[in-house]
Amino acid sequence: MAETAKGPILVTTFFRFEDLSDVKDALRDELYALKDLRGLVLIAAEGINGTIAGVEEAVTRFRQVLESRPELAGMEYKDSYCEKNPFPRWKVELKGQVIQYMDKFRPKGEHNHLSAAEWHALLKSDEEITVLDTRNRYETKVGTFRNAIDPEIDKFTEFTDYLDGCDLPKDRTTLIFCTGGIRCEKAILDMEERGFEKVYQLEGGILKYLEEFPDEEFQGECFVFDRRVAVDQNLDPSKQYWLCPHCGDPGQVEVNCAQCGETARICAKCEAEKPTCSKNCQYHYARVQAG
Protein backbone atom coordinates (compact mmCIF):
# COMPACT_ATOMS: atom_id res chain seq x y z
CA MET A 1 0.00 0.00 0.00
CA ALA A 2 1.38 3.40 -0.97
CA GLU A 3 1.70 5.79 1.96
CA THR A 4 2.53 9.46 2.12
CA ALA A 5 3.56 11.82 4.91
CA LYS A 6 -0.06 12.97 4.99
CA GLY A 7 -1.64 9.57 5.40
CA PRO A 8 -2.36 6.46 3.33
CA ILE A 9 -5.81 7.43 2.04
CA LEU A 10 -6.03 9.55 -1.10
CA VAL A 11 -9.20 11.62 -1.44
CA THR A 12 -9.89 13.00 -4.91
CA THR A 13 -12.64 15.29 -6.17
CA PHE A 14 -13.55 15.71 -9.84
CA PHE A 15 -16.27 16.66 -12.29
CA ARG A 16 -16.83 17.24 -15.96
CA PHE A 17 -19.79 18.42 -17.99
CA GLU A 18 -19.87 16.26 -21.10
CA ASP A 19 -22.59 14.39 -22.99
CA LEU A 20 -22.58 10.91 -21.47
CA SER A 21 -26.03 9.88 -22.70
CA ASP A 22 -24.75 6.87 -24.63
CA VAL A 23 -22.24 5.61 -22.07
CA LYS A 24 -23.66 6.46 -18.63
CA ASP A 25 -25.13 3.02 -17.90
CA ALA A 26 -22.00 1.13 -18.92
CA LEU A 27 -19.81 3.64 -17.08
CA ARG A 28 -21.86 3.24 -13.91
CA ASP A 29 -21.44 -0.55 -14.01
CA GLU A 30 -17.72 -0.33 -14.74
CA LEU A 31 -17.04 2.09 -11.89
CA TYR A 32 -19.23 0.29 -9.38
CA ALA A 33 -17.23 -2.89 -9.98
CA LEU A 34 -14.20 -1.19 -8.38
CA LYS A 35 -15.06 -2.41 -4.89
CA ASP A 36 -11.84 -1.30 -3.17
CA LEU A 37 -12.98 2.33 -3.05
CA ARG A 38 -15.42 4.40 -1.03
CA GLY A 39 -17.19 7.61 -1.89
CA LEU A 40 -19.94 8.88 -4.14
CA VAL A 41 -19.95 9.23 -7.93
CA LEU A 42 -22.92 10.79 -9.72
CA ILE A 43 -23.39 10.17 -13.44
CA ALA A 44 -25.98 11.85 -15.66
CA ALA A 45 -26.49 12.61 -19.31
CA GLU A 46 -24.86 16.00 -18.62
CA GLY A 47 -21.64 14.63 -17.08
CA ILE A 48 -19.98 13.20 -13.99
CA ASN A 49 -19.30 14.48 -10.47
CA GLY A 50 -17.71 12.73 -7.53
CA THR A 51 -15.46 12.50 -4.52
CA ILE A 52 -13.82 9.15 -3.85
CA ALA A 53 -11.23 7.80 -1.44
CA GLY A 54 -8.94 4.80 -1.16
CA VAL A 55 -5.32 3.76 -1.22
CA GLU A 56 -3.39 5.38 -4.04
CA GLU A 57 -3.29 2.26 -6.23
CA ALA A 58 -7.09 1.93 -6.11
CA VAL A 59 -7.65 5.59 -6.97
CA THR A 60 -5.18 5.26 -9.86
CA ARG A 61 -7.15 2.32 -11.26
CA PHE A 62 -10.33 4.38 -11.01
CA ARG A 63 -8.73 7.24 -12.93
CA GLN A 64 -7.50 4.85 -15.60
CA VAL A 65 -11.09 3.75 -16.22
CA LEU A 66 -12.17 7.37 -16.67
CA GLU A 67 -9.16 8.27 -18.80
CA SER A 68 -9.88 5.33 -21.13
CA ARG A 69 -13.04 7.11 -22.26
CA PRO A 70 -12.50 9.99 -24.71
CA GLU A 71 -15.31 11.99 -23.08
CA LEU A 72 -13.49 12.03 -19.74
CA ALA A 73 -9.81 12.05 -20.69
CA GLY A 74 -7.69 14.83 -19.19
CA MET A 75 -10.03 15.57 -16.32
CA GLU A 76 -8.66 17.64 -13.42
CA TYR A 77 -8.53 16.06 -9.96
CA LYS A 78 -8.24 17.86 -6.61
CA ASP A 79 -6.32 15.63 -4.22
CA SER A 80 -5.78 15.50 -0.47
CA TYR A 81 -4.78 12.81 2.02
CA CYS A 82 -6.02 11.53 5.36
CA GLU A 83 -5.43 8.69 7.82
CA LYS A 84 -8.87 7.06 7.60
CA ASN A 85 -11.33 6.74 4.76
CA PRO A 86 -13.87 9.56 5.21
CA PHE A 87 -16.69 7.68 3.46
CA PRO A 88 -18.78 4.80 4.85
CA ARG A 89 -19.47 3.00 1.56
CA TRP A 90 -19.05 2.92 -2.23
CA LYS A 91 -21.89 4.42 -4.28
CA VAL A 92 -22.12 5.05 -8.02
CA GLU A 93 -25.50 6.45 -8.99
CA LEU A 94 -27.33 7.57 -12.11
CA LYS A 95 -29.04 10.94 -11.70
CA GLY A 96 -30.99 13.46 -13.75
CA GLN A 97 -28.29 16.06 -13.05
CA VAL A 98 -24.85 15.84 -11.45
CA ILE A 99 -25.52 19.11 -9.61
CA GLN A 100 -29.15 20.07 -9.09
CA TYR A 101 -30.13 23.44 -10.60
CA MET A 102 -32.45 24.88 -13.23
CA ASP A 103 -32.41 22.37 -16.08
CA LYS A 104 -32.01 24.98 -18.82
CA PHE A 105 -28.45 25.81 -17.75
CA ARG A 106 -26.18 23.27 -19.47
CA PRO A 107 -22.45 23.99 -19.10
CA LYS A 108 -20.19 23.05 -21.98
CA GLY A 109 -16.43 23.47 -22.03
CA GLU A 110 -14.44 26.01 -20.05
CA HIS A 111 -16.26 29.27 -19.47
CA ASN A 112 -14.58 32.34 -17.97
CA HIS A 113 -12.24 30.40 -15.72
CA LEU A 114 -9.55 32.08 -13.63
CA SER A 115 -6.59 30.05 -12.45
CA ALA A 116 -5.79 30.17 -8.74
CA ALA A 117 -2.92 32.55 -9.54
CA GLU A 118 -5.13 34.87 -11.63
CA TRP A 119 -7.81 34.83 -8.93
CA HIS A 120 -5.27 35.61 -6.22
CA ALA A 121 -3.82 38.49 -8.23
CA LEU A 122 -7.27 40.03 -8.70
CA LEU A 123 -8.04 39.77 -5.00
CA LYS A 124 -4.76 41.52 -4.25
CA SER A 125 -5.27 44.23 -6.88
CA ASP A 126 -6.85 47.66 -6.48
CA GLU A 127 -9.60 46.85 -9.00
CA GLU A 128 -13.14 47.29 -7.70
CA ILE A 129 -14.63 43.80 -7.76
CA THR A 130 -17.49 41.78 -6.29
CA VAL A 131 -16.60 38.42 -4.74
CA LEU A 132 -19.64 36.14 -4.42
CA ASP A 133 -19.82 32.80 -2.61
CA THR A 134 -22.25 30.34 -4.25
CA ARG A 135 -22.27 27.86 -1.36
CA ASN A 136 -24.74 27.16 1.43
CA ARG A 137 -24.75 29.03 4.73
CA TYR A 138 -23.48 26.04 6.74
CA GLU A 139 -20.45 26.02 4.42
CA THR A 140 -19.76 29.75 4.48
CA LYS A 141 -19.76 29.75 8.30
CA VAL A 142 -16.76 27.41 8.26
CA GLY A 143 -14.71 29.60 5.93
CA THR A 144 -14.83 31.90 2.91
CA PHE A 145 -12.76 34.44 0.99
CA ARG A 146 -12.01 37.77 2.57
CA ASN A 147 -14.81 40.30 1.84
CA ALA A 148 -16.92 37.71 -0.01
CA ILE A 149 -20.69 38.16 -0.13
CA ASP A 150 -22.65 35.34 1.49
CA PRO A 151 -25.98 34.69 -0.30
CA GLU A 152 -27.26 32.97 2.87
CA ILE A 153 -28.89 30.07 1.06
CA ASP A 154 -29.65 26.62 2.46
CA LYS A 155 -29.26 24.73 -0.83
CA PHE A 156 -27.77 25.54 -4.21
CA THR A 157 -31.12 25.63 -6.00
CA GLU A 158 -31.90 28.76 -3.93
CA PHE A 159 -29.03 30.66 -5.56
CA THR A 160 -31.27 31.68 -8.44
CA ASP A 161 -33.76 33.11 -5.90
CA TYR A 162 -30.91 35.09 -4.35
CA LEU A 163 -30.12 36.54 -7.78
CA ASP A 164 -33.78 37.53 -8.16
CA GLY A 165 -33.55 39.83 -5.16
CA CYS A 166 -29.95 41.01 -5.07
CA ASP A 167 -28.79 44.45 -6.22
CA LEU A 168 -25.21 43.61 -7.19
CA PRO A 169 -23.79 45.92 -9.89
CA LYS A 170 -23.98 44.03 -13.17
CA ASP A 171 -21.26 46.04 -14.89
CA ARG A 172 -18.61 45.31 -12.25
CA THR A 173 -16.13 42.43 -12.42
CA THR A 174 -17.73 39.66 -10.37
CA LEU A 175 -15.80 36.65 -9.08
CA ILE A 176 -17.76 33.56 -8.04
CA PHE A 177 -16.49 30.45 -6.28
CA CYS A 178 -17.49 27.18 -4.63
CA THR A 179 -15.74 24.13 -3.17
CA GLY A 180 -14.43 22.46 -6.31
CA GLY A 181 -15.94 24.50 -9.13
CA ILE A 182 -19.00 22.53 -10.23
CA ARG A 183 -21.69 24.84 -8.84
CA CYS A 184 -20.13 27.87 -10.48
CA GLU A 185 -20.39 26.24 -13.92
CA LYS A 186 -24.18 26.60 -13.68
CA ALA A 187 -24.30 29.75 -11.56
CA ILE A 188 -22.30 31.74 -14.11
CA LEU A 189 -24.78 30.90 -16.88
CA ASP A 190 -27.67 32.07 -14.70
CA MET A 191 -25.87 35.32 -13.90
CA GLU A 192 -24.99 36.04 -17.52
CA GLU A 193 -28.59 35.46 -18.59
CA ARG A 194 -29.56 38.13 -16.05
CA GLY A 195 -27.19 40.67 -17.59
CA PHE A 196 -24.05 40.36 -15.48
CA GLU A 197 -21.36 41.46 -17.91
CA LYS A 198 -18.07 40.33 -16.39
CA VAL A 199 -18.46 37.17 -14.34
CA TYR A 200 -15.48 34.88 -13.73
CA GLN A 201 -15.23 31.62 -11.82
CA LEU A 202 -12.39 30.13 -9.78
CA GLU A 203 -11.06 27.12 -11.66
CA GLY A 204 -10.83 24.14 -9.33
CA GLY A 205 -12.64 26.04 -6.60
CA ILE A 206 -11.44 26.65 -3.06
CA LEU A 207 -9.62 23.32 -2.99
CA LYS A 208 -7.36 24.33 -5.88
CA TYR A 209 -6.77 27.79 -4.40
CA LEU A 210 -5.70 26.33 -1.04
CA GLU A 211 -3.38 23.92 -2.82
CA GLU A 212 -1.49 26.89 -4.27
CA PHE A 213 -2.16 29.72 -1.80
CA PRO A 214 -2.63 28.49 1.78
CA ASP A 215 -2.96 31.12 4.51
CA GLU A 216 -3.72 33.90 2.05
CA GLU A 217 -7.10 35.34 1.01
CA PHE A 218 -9.26 32.39 2.04
CA GLN A 219 -10.14 32.64 5.72
CA GLY A 220 -11.04 29.69 7.92
CA GLU A 221 -11.52 26.15 6.63
CA CYS A 222 -13.27 24.64 3.62
CA PHE A 223 -16.35 22.51 4.28
CA VAL A 224 -16.36 19.16 2.46
CA PHE A 225 -19.18 16.64 2.09
CA ASP A 226 -17.70 13.71 4.00
CA ARG A 227 -16.62 12.68 7.49
CA ARG A 228 -13.68 15.09 7.49
CA VAL A 229 -16.31 17.86 7.73
CA ALA A 230 -13.75 20.42 6.53
CA VAL A 231 -10.14 20.71 5.40
CA ASP A 232 -7.75 23.29 6.78
CA GLN A 233 -5.41 25.64 4.93
CA ASN A 234 -3.08 22.71 4.16
CA LEU A 235 -5.95 20.50 2.93
CA ASP A 236 -5.60 18.33 6.04
CA PRO A 237 -8.75 17.04 7.79
CA SER A 238 -10.18 19.58 10.20
CA LYS A 239 -9.26 19.35 13.86
CA GLN A 240 -11.77 22.07 14.68
CA TYR A 241 -15.09 20.79 13.30
CA TRP A 242 -17.18 17.66 13.74
CA LEU A 243 -20.55 16.83 12.21
CA CYS A 244 -23.22 17.81 14.71
CA PRO A 245 -24.89 14.51 15.75
CA HIS A 246 -28.29 16.21 15.86
CA CYS A 247 -28.54 18.15 12.60
CA GLY A 248 -25.48 17.21 10.52
CA ASP A 249 -24.14 20.77 10.26
CA PRO A 250 -20.51 21.54 11.18
CA GLY A 251 -20.12 21.74 14.95
CA GLN A 252 -17.30 23.15 17.05
CA VAL A 253 -18.97 23.74 20.44
CA GLU A 254 -17.64 21.25 22.99
CA VAL A 255 -20.25 20.06 25.49
CA ASN A 256 -20.53 17.52 28.25
CA CYS A 257 -23.63 15.50 27.42
CA ALA A 258 -26.46 16.35 29.81
CA GLN A 259 -27.57 12.71 29.70
CA CYS A 260 -24.45 10.51 29.79
CA GLY A 261 -21.65 12.98 30.57
CA GLU A 262 -19.56 12.15 27.49
CA THR A 263 -17.77 14.97 25.68
CA ALA A 264 -19.04 15.86 22.20
CA ARG A 265 -18.91 18.66 19.67
CA ILE A 266 -22.18 20.02 18.36
CA CYS A 267 -23.28 23.15 16.51
CA ALA A 268 -24.15 26.36 18.37
CA LYS A 269 -27.85 26.10 17.54
CA CYS A 270 -28.17 22.58 18.91
CA GLU A 271 -26.12 23.47 21.98
CA ALA A 272 -28.95 25.77 23.05
CA GLU A 273 -31.70 23.29 22.20
CA LYS A 274 -30.15 19.83 22.64
CA PRO A 275 -27.12 19.79 25.00
CA THR A 276 -26.48 16.08 24.43
CA CYS A 277 -23.97 13.95 22.51
CA SER A 278 -26.39 12.00 20.31
CA LYS A 279 -29.99 11.67 19.21
CA ASN A 280 -30.37 8.69 21.52
CA CYS A 281 -29.18 10.66 24.56
CA GLN A 282 -31.38 13.57 23.55
CA TYR A 283 -34.42 11.28 23.44
CA HIS A 284 -33.81 10.00 26.98
CA TYR A 285 -32.85 13.45 28.26
CA ALA A 286 -36.09 14.93 26.91
CA ARG A 287 -38.12 12.18 28.60
CA VAL A 288 -36.47 12.93 31.94
CA GLN A 289 -37.06 16.66 31.53
CA ALA A 290 -40.71 16.04 30.68
CA GLY A 291 -41.09 14.15 33.93
pLDDT tens digit string along 166-214? 999 999 999 999 999 999 999 999 999 999 999 999 999 999 999 999 9
Per-residue pLDDT of 110-131, as tens digits, reads 899 999 999 999 999 999 999 9
Would you name the residues annotated as active-site residues?
178
Domain with CATH 3.40.250.10 in the chain: 113-226
pTM of the model: 0.89
pLDDT of residue 80: 95
Report, at the CATH architecture level, how domain 9-94 is classified. Answer: 2-Layer Sandwich (3.30)
CB contact set of 44 (below 8 Å; sequence gap of 6+): 20, 24, 94, 95, 96, 97, 98
Fold of 113-226: Oxidized Rhodanese; domain 1 (3.40.250)
Residue 3 pLDDT: 43
| Per-residue pLDDT, 5 | 54
pLDDT level of residue 4 (50, 70, 90 thresholds): very low
Domain with CATH 3.30.70.100 in the chain: 9-94
pLDDT in tens, 81-121: 999 999 999 999 999 999 999 999 999 878 999 999 999 99
